[in-house]
Amino acid sequence: MGLGKRTDLKISVSNKDLCRSCGKCSKVCPMQLAPYKEFSDKNQIDNEHCIRCSTCVKNCPVEILYLGTEEEAKGCNLEISRK
């Protein structure tokens, strides 16, 4: 069960539509999670096993992952469109 504090940093996605489902974030995750399959309505990953190592963030080829708060993730839906 997540604590859900608004200031908690979680893996977040800036634009789900840009995800290629390439699975790289999953392949590099030391906890064997699959971030791209777990994006919530709030554009975040609510997984208690995530250790926030940011390995997935660094390895996403389209750079849509980041470590952010719920507030940031909410506002991020339409904002970013890198090419």
Among 11, 14, 66, 68, contact with ligand SF4 (rule: CB under 6 A): 11
Smallest separation, CB 43 to ligand SF4 (Å): 11
What length is written for the chain? 83
Q: Is 29 in the site for ligand SF4 (CB under 6 A)?
A: yes
Task: Annotate 20-54 with b (16+ C-beta within 10 A) or e (fewer).
Answer: eeeebbbeebeeebebbebbeebbbbbbeebeeee
- Position 23 contacts ligand SF4 (CB under 6 A): yes
CB of 75 to ligand SF4, least distance (A): 19
The vertex-8 CA angle with 15 and 24, nearest 5°, equals: 40
Residues in touch with ligand SF4 (CB under 6 A)? 11, 19-25, 29-31, 33, 35-36, 50-56, 60-62, 64-65
